[in-house]
Amino acid sequence: MQPLQHAFEGVGRRPLEVAATLRAGPLDTFFHVVLPLARGGIVQAAVLSFAHTVGEFGVVLMIGGNIPERTRVVSTQIYGHVEALEYTQAHWLSAGMLLFSLLVLLALARLNRRSVRVLG
């Protein structure tokens, strides 16, 4: 929620006032002014939500279960390998998750740098 909140707060009042002076309605202002200006924060929130969901364990296990070949995700797969004392496979999957997390963080940092450069 924080990237969304900061993105919408970062739009400021001035673009909304300009849209109002041009007689833009609330929906038109939202879709044609606010959303384009907050695009970077919206993308960041989507990427963070995806990354958080990939690493989620408890909710997936409670709701989706751990049905092989149907509801198994990486986090439950790691859990299954540890339960079966297959530590090598668990380590490889954990390293893959770590690498994925690092790539997501690097992508977000690059996106954030680009959006700050555009806005600044």
Domain ranges of the chain: 1-37, 40-120
pLDDT confidence of residue 118: 57
Calpha distance 4→10 (Å, rounded): 10
- pTM for the full predicted model: 0.58
Say yes or no to pLDDT of 89 above 90.
yes
Write out pLDDT tens, residues 37-87.
988 888 888 888 877 777 676 666 666 666 767 767 777 788 889 989 999
Q: Could you give the maximum distance between any two Cα atoms of the chain, in Å?
A: 67
